[in-house]
Structure 1
Amino acid sequence: MLQPVQDSSDCFVYSENDLLKNCQLDKDYQLSEFDIQLRKSWDDKMKNGHFRYHLDKVETKIIPGSLKYVAQLNVKRATERRPPQNITIVNQPFDSKVFNFTKVKEDEIIFRLEKSENDGQQQCNGHTDSKNEKRNIVMVNVSPLEYGHILICPDIDASKPQLLDEYALKLAINCQLLSKHKGFRLGFNSLCAFASVNHQHVHAYYLEQEIFAEKCPVQHLKGPVYELDVIPCKGFVFQLFGSTVDQLTIDVLKMTEYLQSNEVAHNVFMTRGTAFGDNNKEDTIRIYVWPRAKFIGIKEEAAFNVAVVELAGHLPIKVEKLYEDLTEELIFDTAREAALPEEEYKNIKDNILKLYHS
């Protein structure tokens, strides 16, 4: 039987009123109470040595080209991170005998995250109560790719494999809306799409630089579904603008559940950005879903993996020589390795669109 991870530290309780659905992206970076608490705890844990390395030597540059990729040299993430698990299928069952997030050290936990049904904040002592038995744990990623890199583990004691469900997706959207920092990003890698641990979790971190996923043009397909075709690995896009959190959750989940049930590897990325349309300047949440070629087995360390943040325009680079010589053309060549064959992608696209009304 699994021993539950301890979370006797802090608990961040939020209500519907704390969800920031419009932050005016043209303004400077700002912080909400969620950002302040998260960043303070993250800084303290970095100072006290709870990470495998520091981020003080991460070099950043913008790659010339149409998409202006943000490349960062982060060699230590490749050399000092925990060895990834052997993953063979998208629906691989949870295995309590291998590493999972119930086994992390208490010092790695930032806070427990809980939504209150009341409008005001409440105190929480970190213990499960009868009204909310699901413990959502936010912890540091001990091998960070950028500042504030955390893992959000929904309902951690349920021991779910790395699949998205309604509860996890809605919690992720809420976390995006709790932040007032326009550079706060969230990402989900399915199994066979560079997920390293088969225990339900979502990545989140801060990136000060703008990425193309925030504002790039997309093509309307049907109902709430749009398509991104400016990179070799095509994908689908949803937005909060003109919708609600509940409806957005339902719309995205239709797609991810189809991909999961059909053993299609996928990556999901979430960021603040502009609403779709050439002249639309409204702030919204964009959610990208990329069906992609499977990567089977234990990951081979390459120059960079085509996982969720790479597809969105942020490239953590592992090899200094490649960082120096990187061009947009070389990035596209690598991204093509993740793209499905055109006929397979078209078949998935046709089947997915049948799930939505016009």
Structure 2
Amino acid sequence: MLKRDRIYLAHSSLLSGRIVHGRDQLNYDVTNCETKVISGGKNFIAQLNEQWSSNSLALLENADNQLLGSSRMTNVQICRDNILLCITRGENASPELMPSSMLPQDGTLVFVNVNPIEYGHIYLVPYKFYNPSKILDKGSLEYINEIAIELDDCCFRMFYDYAPLVNPSAVYFQANFFASVLPVELGELIPVYGDPLDGGIQICEVAGYPIKTLVFMSRDNPKLLARFMSEMCSVLQERNAVFSLLISDCARKFFLFPQVQSSSATNHLSAWECGGYFIFNTVTKFDDVSEEDISNRLASVSLDDQDFQTLKQQSCCIANKVFP
């Protein structure tokens, strides 16, 4: 395990499609997959990946923090070969790599993803050994945020998806490296709350994006931002709202994609899809996809104007509560 909050081991060793983890290899080299920018003004990105599968998510559902309790430790054996490392806090001021066969009482497990969508695709599973949680709590989000801060690489992005009616118990993040910015990050921002010059939290709306999106930013105080986002996520989860998060710019920006409720996972979009990055498993679909197709897919899960306005008001109320 690592003392302090570092993920450098995952960055240096996860050479997409070529590393050996335990007894298996990744299913393919994602760096060989063809990608393109779809013509139009939104700059949506399409990837042709005929081998990609979402089945690896089932692996994480067997290894989330619900399975780390003492009564069900045998389930961890299912994924032991896929564990890259465990990140946890220590007393030392500098990071330290410590080989260990035992899990610490709390931390973040880092799993390799055998079906990556981009370079360095991993799962990050926050857990508390003696106090498992079914929802994302404040401590877990702050821990994840610290990993992004310490990694200090603007190409590194983290994702979180919450759909309670589809999968109410899995709590995990995904992360990978993108060489270029995602389409949603290029959008014009409309100020909603805060002043970027006062060093606090700023809330903005992404103008003209097909799925209504809020952006929460703090240039100088990412830890303060994580505190606010934990409150925001807590309110959304208490209301069983469907949403996705994109954490970018070394944890200085959180993109919130609220989605309409559905009992089917196929009706929800992942965080990277909300950000404008789509995967296609056939050449025909990859060649034929248009900006209109992507825009319609994004718009189909978006909140309506009234619900989005309510969400903006709620986010401002939470900001006033956290920063009176």
Same fold flag (TM > 0.5):
yes
For the residues of structure 2 that align with 1:119 and 1:166, how far apart are their CA atoms? 23
> How many Å apart are 1:253 and its aligned residue?
1.6
For residue 232 of structure 1, give the secondary structure of its aligned residue in structure 2.
coil
Structure-1 separation of matches of 2:108 and 2:246 = 20
Instruction: Give, in whole Å, the separation in 1 of the partners of 2:260 and 2:164.
Output: 8
- Counterpart residue identity of residue 175, structure 1: I
**Residue deviations 1:170-221, cap 9 Å, x none?**
12212222334432111000025976x8321100011223323444321221
- Other structure's SS at 1:111 match: strand
Structure 1 residues 127 and 155, CA gap change in structure 2 (3 angstroms): farther
Change (3 A) 1:336 1:287: same
Which of 222, 229, 238 is matched with 1:261 structurally? Answer: 238
Corresponding residue number in structure 1 for 2:33: 58
Matched positions, count: 306
Q: Aligned residue for 2:3?
A: 13
Residue 210 of structure 1 aligns to which amino acid in structure 2?
V
The corresponding residue for 1:71 is: 46
SS of equivalent to 1:203: strand
3-state SS in 2 of match to 1:154 = strand
Q: Check if 1:154 corresponds to 2:120.
A: no
134-143 vs 42-51, which moves further: 42-51
Higher relative contact order (CA 8 A, sep 6+): 1
Structure-to-structure mapping, 1:151-230, within 5 angstroms: 151-155=123-127, 157=129, 158-161=131-134, 163-192=135-164, 198-223=169-194, 224=201, 225-230=203-208
Quick check: 1:41–1:110 contact (8 Å CA) kept in 2? Answer: no
Provide the C-alpha distance between the structure 1 equivalents of 2:25 and 2:227, rounded to a whole number of angstroms. Answer: 37
**One-letter identity of the residue aligned with 2:204:** Y
Which SS does the other structure have where 1:254 is aligned?
Answer: helix
Give the TM-score, by structure 2 length: 0.80
- Structure 1 distance, partners of 2:248, 2:76, is 28
Of 35, 40, 45, the match for 2:20: 45
Is contact 2:126-2:171 (8 Å) kept?
yes
Aligned-pair identity (%): 17
Q: 1 CA distance for matches of 2:143 and 2:170? A: 16
Q: Please state whether the residue corresponding to 1:259 is helix, strand or coil.
A: helix
2:79 aligned to which of 95, 98, 105: 105
RMSD: 3.5
**Residues 121-156 of structure 1 deviation map (CA, whole Å, 9 limit, x = unaligned):** 334233669xx6214210112222222111001126
Partner Cα distance (1:241, 1:295) in 2: 35
The verdict on how the C-alpha distance between 1:70 and 1:46 changes in structure 2, with shifts beyond 3 A counting, is farther
Which residue number corresponds to residue 309 of structure 1? Answer: 272
Of Structure 1 and Structure 2, the greater helix share is in 2
Give the aligned partner of residue 285 of structure 2: 322
**Which residue of structure 2 lines up, in the alignment, with residue 21 of structure 1?**
none
- Alpha-carbon offset, residue 234 of structure 1: 0.9
SS in 1 for 2:319: coil
